[in-house]
Amino acid sequence: MRKQIRDKRIALVIGGSGLVGSHLLDLLLENNAYAEVRAMGRTMPDMKHDKLKFIPAELISQKFPRSAFVGVDDLFCTVGTTQKKTPDKKEYEKIDVGIPSALAQMCHIFKVPQFLVVSSVGASTSSRFFYLRTKAEMEERVITSGVRVVEIFRPSTLLGKRKEFRLGESIGKALDMITRYFMPKQYRAIHAGDVAKAMIVRALDEPLPGNNVWESYQISDLAQLYDINEE
């Protein structure tokens, strides 16, 4: 059950132009618990709302305006790249590891209570895949940042319409349609909107200090709680 929450919260979203991030912004702007939604990044979100405040920043170089973190209750980080988009491994790590870990450090400095971040199913330091090792490194750095509450979400293949074409995800979606009924729940594709809903459910639940990791099937269950609470 959801605990009693304080309304008039302030959310800070990084990665709002991405698949999960765009759904997240839409939901946060509609949610009465939030009085202000800040979107920080290089480009302004393709939406307008009285509660939305855009904060320009160079994320890769970690030039974050300090004022962006003042008074924030929940920081949502959905940034991520692909090896096709960023073939250089050092640049890749700057995005997938550097940005979230630097944001978590800022949360610790400015006493932002909750840091919620999107990782990936299969994230592991022992994985033979660079992408999954990178996600695991990000998780470790975020967990050790000192933030009061860390919520990590590990979705499987994301469903939804992206601005750019991703071959790997397209293959994953096609395979999911074929194998969905006998594939372990942890690896079934999940809609990006459900990931966004799950993140908000956890933010508003105000858990006790600590770290929580949510696998893809658990994210689906959390998303259903959002729908129930909105009815």
Tens digits of residue pLDDT in 87-133: 999 999 999 999 999 999 999 999 999 999 999 999 999 999 999 99
Q: How far apart are CA 43 and CA 58, in angstroms?
A: 10
Phi, psi of 73 (to 5 degrees): -95, -40
Q: Is residue 71 part of a domain?
A: yes
What pLDDT score does 2 carry?
Answer: 43
| Burial (CB count within 10 angstroms: exposed 0-12, middle 13-18, buried 19+), residue 134 | buried
Asked if residue 206 has pLDDT above 70, the reply is: yes
Q: Are 129 and 164 in contact (CB under 8 A)?
A: no
In this prediction, residues 52-68 reach a mean pLDDT of: 96
Q: Is residue 3 part of a domain?
A: no
What pLDDT score does 167 carry?
Answer: 52
Is the full-model pTM beyond 0.85? yes
Q: Is residue 2 part of a domain?
A: no
Asked if residue 11 has pLDDT above 50, the reply is: yes
What pLDDT score does 180 carry?
Answer: 52
Distances (CA, A) of 119 to 62, 79, 133, 153: 19, 9, 11, 6
Q: Is residue 124 part of a domain?
A: yes
For residue 150, give the CATH number of its domain: 3.40.50.720
Residues spanned by the domain of 66? 9-230
Q: Is residue 146 part of a domain?
A: yes
Q: Is residue 38 part of a domain?
A: yes
Tens digits of residue pLDDT in 130-159: 999 999 999 999 999 999 999 999 999 899
Total count of domains within the chain: 1
- Residue 24 has which token pair? 């997240």
In the chain, how long is the greatest CA-to-CA distance? 49
